[in-house]
Amino acid sequence: MTQFGMVIMIAWGVLVVITATLYLYRGRLQRDEEDQIFLDDAFSQEKVAQEAIAAKVNSVQPLLRVFIWILAVVTVFVIGYWIWDIVAQFK
């Protein structure tokens, strides 16, 4: 494998780690999020906490989508490069 091949494989690996980290972070945030809460005035602090969690999850979601798309594009590029390298070795 050429030096260029090593660089794109390392870049792909870094993107995988970043995307996995974002998934884990979002999952950790959503673990504390309640699906349904019945709130009255006595539970206003719980409402504020749930809104803060929802805001954090909503701020991570667009970044996660961007990294998923970038990872998909780089994965297609890596697969194409890998196939090209295999074909070039047999010539």
Residue 28 has a pLDDT of 86
Q: pTM of the prediction?
A: 0.74
CA-CA distance, 91 to 86, in Å (whole number)? 9
- What is the 3 state secondary structure string of the chain? CCHHHHHHHHHHHHHHHHHHHHHHHHHHHHHCCCCCCCCCHHHHHHHHHHHHHHHHHHHHHHHHHHHHHHHHHHHHHHHHHHHHHHHHHCC
> pLDDT tens digits for 2-41?
888 889 999 999 999 999 999 999 888 887 666 666 666 6
Q: Check the CA dihedral 68-72-77-79 and report its sign.
A: positive
The tens digit of pLDDT for each residue in 30-85 reads 876 666 666 666 667 777 777 788 888 888 899 999 999 999 999 999 999 989 98
Distance in angstroms (rounded) separating the CA atoms of residues 20 and 64: 9
Do 40 and 68 meet the contact criterion of CB atoms below 8 Å apart? Answer: no
Give the pLDDT confidence score for residue 79 in this predicted structure: 93
